[in-house]
Chains A and B, each alone.
Chain A
């Protein structure tokens, strides 16, 4: 089998509200984790997964002031409906799509004099509920 290489440029991303997040995002990483308890038994270690958690790390160029700003949409969502999920669809590459809900967070504001303003998020994936579609 030939070696496959996919990069961040293979990712596409969208979220409820439909703002153009692909134009701003420089990194998007979904992490889903099994929370596993370890028990010491007479037979040795035994394991039980008791929960599933997820986080979604997003780095982006700030877009305050732009029409359909992602920063402004997330700020308003965090302010007006902080416990309401935002549905994210992340396609890692053609044929591998992940759909998951996140809780909105406030973006940071500002930056240094020499660089572009950037925003880094670590969103909580609600209930670790990540749906996948592989083809």
Chain B
């Protein structure tokens, strides 16, 4: 199996979120269905922190965007908070969890969603 960032970092993270009450995507889909959890690259995306270059080893910064339907503000925020907490509970070992950014209203397709970003980082070693 090819050792890619998708197969070793993003997809395992998406798999870990299987138990949360939302649609989980390891990449940005064309039309995500709310509530959803999606992994997107953060900036800077890849950071080369370790010595040596015999193998590519890089720190990967990701944003986990968590979104719920934006129908009523109190209920939407409560739904978002519950989804964020459920995501935080299942982030596996090996991921550095940073801040959760403030929720914002974003238009996805024809509807508005309330979305918050969770910043996570991990390390990837290219082996083949």
**Bound Cα distance A73, B48 (Å):** 25
- What chain A residues lie within 8 Å of B53 (beta carbons)? 9-10
CA A61 – CA B57 in complex, angstroms? 13
Measured CB to CB, the closest approach of chain A to B75, in angstroms, equals 30
Instruction: Name the A residues within 8 Å of B108 (CB-CB).
Output: none
Question: In this assembly, does B50 line the interface, its C-beta being within 8 Å of a C-beta of chain A?
Answer: yes
Q: Is there a chain A Cβ closer than 8 Å to B31's Cβ? A: no
A18 smallest CB distance to B (angstroms) = 15
Residues B49 and A26 in contact, CB atoms below 8 Å apart: yes
Q: Does B52 contact A (CB under 8 A)?
A: yes
Tell me whether chain A's interface is mostly helix, strand or loop, or mixed: mixed
Query: Does residue A67 face the partner (Cβ distance < 8 Å to B)?
Result: no
Instruction: Judge if B28 is at the interface, Cβ distance under 8 Å.
Output: no
Contact A9 B52 (CB under 8 A): yes
Q: Which of B26-83 contact A (CB under 8 A)?
A: 48-55, 57
Q: Is A22 an interface residue (CB 8 A)?
A: yes
Q: Hey, which bits of chain A sit against chain B, CB under 8 A?
A: 8-13, 22-28, 61, 114-116
**A11-B52, A25-B50, A61-B123 provided; 13 other pairs, C-beta below 8 A?**
A9-B52, A12-B51, A12-B52, A13-B51, A22-B54, A23-B57, A23-B125, A25-B51, A26-B50, A26-B51, A28-B51, A116-B96, A116-B121
